């Protein structure tokens, strides 16, 4: 069984713990329709980095820090990574049906 983000979110948000915004990056984060769908289904705002491959950027900046390109980590904090927020739509969508449709699509792709 493949876990979905909604499964992980449900497992994490037990008891008094609730996540605020979810940070996303990578290739799929460049698709505005997909990001809106995810925000709507999860009912959480998404913080989308305008630099999709921010993980590679992070590795490169840490390497630059190690060789002295930057003096300290505080200097790196000033680099603008450009974050946009995708908020869930105000409309009430049927999330259970949408999640089941998504799960069916994943199953079709993985079998």
Rounded to two decimals, what is the model's pTM?
A: 0.65
pLDDT of residue 108: 87
Domain-embedded: residue 13: no
Range of the domain at 30: 19-95
48: burial class by Cβ within 10 Å (0-12, 13-18, 19+)?
buried
CA–CA separation, 47 and 84 (whole Å): 6
Domain-embedded: residue 105: no
Walk along the chain (111 residues) and give the pLDDT tens digit of each residue: 455 666 666 666 666 666 778 888 888 899 999 899 888 888 889 999 888 888 888 888 889 999 999 888 888 877 777 889 999 987 665 565 667 777 788 788 887
Domain-embedded: residue 109: no
- Domain count along the chain: 1
């Amino acid at each position: 069984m493949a876990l979905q983000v909604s499964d992980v979110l449900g497992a994490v948000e037990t008891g008094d713990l609730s996540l605020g915004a979810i940070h996303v990056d990578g290739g799929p984060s460049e698709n505005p329709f997909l990001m809106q769908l995810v925000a709507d289904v999860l009912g959480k705002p998404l913080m989308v980095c305008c630099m999709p491959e921010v993980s590679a950027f992070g590795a490169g900046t840490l390497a630059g820090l190690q060789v002295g390109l930057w003096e300290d980590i505080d200097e790196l904090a000033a680099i603008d990574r450009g974050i946009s927020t995708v908020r869930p739509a105000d409309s009430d969508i049927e999330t259970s049906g949408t999640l089941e449709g998504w799960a069916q699509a994943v199953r079709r792709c993985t079998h």
